[in-house]
Amino acid sequence: MKEKLSKLKNDKNLIRIIFIIGIAGILLIFCSTLFDSEKTEDIDSFSVEEYRSLEENRIKEMVESIQGVGKARVMVTMENSVEQVYSNDNKVKEIEPAIRGVLVICSGADNPVIKETVLESITKALNLSSDKVCITKLKEE
C-alpha cells in the first residue's frame, strides 16, 4: 500500500491534473461570486422610501377619485423595510414592507358618509384594520 502511494506521489502527470482541477475549482468559485454581486446591486436599488412614496401617491389618487372627497393629502408609515428572501435555487424574492398606518387629510372629511367611504376603501384596498387609518378634515385656505 505504501509503495502505491509513493508511486502516485512521484507521478508528475497525476500531480499536474490535481493542480489543474484545483485551479479550475477556485476560478469557478470566483466567477460565481461575481454574478451574485450583480444581483444584489439590483436589489439594493429598491428602497422603503420609494415604496412609501408610491403607496402614498396611489392612495391619494384613489381617495381623490371618490365623489365628494375633494383635495387630499396622504401619509403612510411603514412597519419594516424591504425583506429579501433567498430560495434554494439562488433566486431572490422581495417581500414588500408592511404598512403600519395611513393618515388621510381631505376636504370632504367633515361629511360622515364620505369619511366612512374613504375609510372603507383604504381598509379593504390595503387589508388594514380601521384602527390603523385616520381620516381628518383638510384646513381651508
> What is the DSSP track for 15-51?
HHHHHHHHHHHHHHHHHHHHHHHHHHHHHHT--HHHH
Nearest by Cα to 75 from 97, 53, 96: 53
The model's pLDDT over 118-137, given as tens digits with 9 standing for 90+, comes to: 999 999 999 999 999 999 99
All three cell numbers of 6:
509513493
Residue 18: its pLDDT value, please? 79
Judged against a pLDDT cut of 70, whether residue 98 lies above it is answered with yes
Percent of the chain with pLDDT over 90: 43
Place of cell 477556485: 26
pLDDT at 60 over 90: yes
What pLDDT was estimated at residue 134?
A: 95
CA distance 79 to 38: 28
Sheet holding 133-137, edge to edge: 72-78, 99-106, 133-137
Choice among 50-54, 82-86, 96-100 with the minimum mean pLDDT: 82-86
Average pLDDT of the chain, as a whole number: 82
